[in-house]
Amino acid sequence: MLTVHSVKKLNGKCRVPGDKSISHRAVMLAGISEGKTTIDGFLKGEDCLSTIRCFEQMGVLVQEEKDRICIVGKGHKGLSEPKNVLDAGNSGTTMRLMAGILSGQNFHSVITGDDSLRGRPMERIAVPLRKMGAIIDGRENGKKAPLAIRGGQLKAIEYELPVASAQIKSAVLLAGLFAEGTTRVIEPRASRDHTERMLGSFGITVDTDGLSRTVKPGKLKGTHIEVPGDISSAAFLLVAAACLEGSEVTLENVGINPTRSGIIKVLQQMGAEIMINHQREVGGEPIADLNIRGTKLNAVEIGEEMIPSLIDEIPVLAVAAACARGTTRITGASELRVKETDRISAMAEELEKVGIEVTTLEDGMVINGPQKIKGGRIDSHGDHRIAMAMAVAGLLSEDIVEISNESCMAVSFPGFMDIIRELIDG
């Protein structure tokens, strides 16, 4: 049980851990590359450690040298058949992206995950991968994990994604590396493009034309990857500082890829003062130091067009909405219902326990503010982002907020509460 006390303000400078999406991709691409890849800033969170363990089971050598991860890849189609079930833990990215790679290998594999992941939809990747020639089965008529994959020679497809999802897009593009012909994916809206950018660093070109991406089969060459700080982790600190008047926090080295940085735009629209300093590019990813000052916030409308760029930040944005003046409406976010938990109903349930009224919609939520956050006992539902969003609510509350099942924070942000403690000022 974690007890969070209210604070007056946050002050100081810090770094958030490495980006989860980028860390997963670095291990996967390194694993199928020829030669050695070094990764700095890798996120040692539970999700990315699951990816490492899965690739180790397929013969990939992963070594830790101080803060650097060194991976000796097995080359194109060089992975070996795993002798046991691969466990993706809580990580949708591990399961879905790895399924794309496994579909192109001449062997059989089975991937499972924890209770949450086994409940999440997998037909979204199974459908296009089957079209490419992979044989994929699973529970509930092939829709849920454990998934059994019989990979083999794939053929390229052209595929229109039913939802804007980087996980589906990446699964198909990664399978495309092993397919005959040119694979094309078209998205309804732009989702995060880390796979496309990182493939460039490994020597593979992904052509972009509006919302379409194409890739040809190709062999990857090992490289050096620097993982920027995760903007999705920074979001918890940004919201806490934004809501606490008088706060001033600087977050160094944060990834500000435009497909991910909706949280900055939305907080600015709400009235937060955010300065984006020292912008630079590292390994094809834009990064910057973010400086935020807390002020009074106003409500905001967040519609479908913004959602992919801040999908993982909505739980904590709901907390900001409770503190902001006016009515915040979040719509077009039905994907939240199939994340680690149903984040619309889980957030509404937990916010209500600390006195925040939330109207849930099928595809979002409406929150009138400002509302007083009271103390209470809440449950994380085993979802790292719910746990941290409610910890932020605790910092802003009138009384103590107790959070059970809080260890899941380590899925994406090990040391979250330590960083918060360092920033507390009064």
Residues with a catalytic annotation lie at 312
Tracing tokens 């694979």 back to the chain, one arrives at 183
Residue 191 contacts ligand S3P per CB under 6 A: yes
User: Is the CB of residue 206 less than 8 Å from the CB of residue 200?
Assistant: yes
Q: Are 14 and 252 in contact (CB under 8 A)?
A: yes
Q: Taking the complex as a whole, how short is the minimal distance between the CB of residue 48 and ligand S3P, in angstroms?
A: 10
Shortest reach from residue 369's CB to ligand S3P, in Å: 25
Q: Which stretch binds ligand S3P (CB under 6 A): 38-46, 60-68, 163-171, 390-398?
A: 163-171
Q: How many CB atoms lie within 10 A of CB 122?
A: 27
Least CB distance to ligand S3P at residue 374 (A)? 30
- Catalogue the E-assigned strands of 116-157: 135-138, 144-150, 154-155
* 192 contacts ligand S3P (rule: CB under 6 A): yes
Q: Confirm or reject binding of residue 46 to ligand S3P (CB under 6 A).
A: no
Site string for ligand S3P, 211-250 (x = CB under 6 A): ----------------------------------------
Angle subtended at Cα 165 by Cα 162 and Cα 168, rounded to the nearest 5 degrees: 80
Number of residues that bind ligand S3P (CB under 6 A): 11
Closest approach, Cβ 63 to ligand S3P, in A, equals: 24
Q: How far apart are CA 152 and CA 135, in angstroms?
A: 9
Q: Which stretch binds ligand S3P (CB under 6 A): 112-120, 162-170, 221-229, 348-356?
A: 162-170
Contacting residue, 23, 37, 167, 233, with ligand S3P by CB under 6 A:
167
Angstrom distance (rounded) from CA 350 to CA 325: 21
Using an 8 Å Cβ cutoff, are 310 and 303 in contact?
A: no
- Where are the alpha helices (H) located in 192-230, listed in sequence order? 194-201
Which residue, 259 or 298, is less far from ligand S3P as judged by CB? 259
Give me the least distance between CB of 91 and ligand S3P, in Å please.
9
Pick between residue 122 and residue 240 the one whose CB is nearest to ligand S3P: 122
- The number of angstroms, rounded, from the C-alpha of 173 to the middle of its chain's C-alpha atoms is 18
Q: Which residue in the set 226, 312, 383, 406 belongs to the binding site for ligand S3P (CB under 6 A)?
A: 312
DSSP calls for 354-414: TT---EEETTEEEEEE--PPPPEEEE-TT-HHHHHHHHHHHHTSSS-EEEESGGGGGGT-T
Among 252, 335, 349, 425, binds ligand S3P (CB under 6 A): 335
Contact string (CB under 6 A) for ligand S3P, positions 75-94, x = contact:
------------------x-
Q: Measuring CA to CA, which residue among 80, 98, 309 is closest to residue 192?
A: 309
Residues at the interface with ligand S3P (CB under 6 A):
21, 93, 165-167, 170, 191-192, 311-312, 335
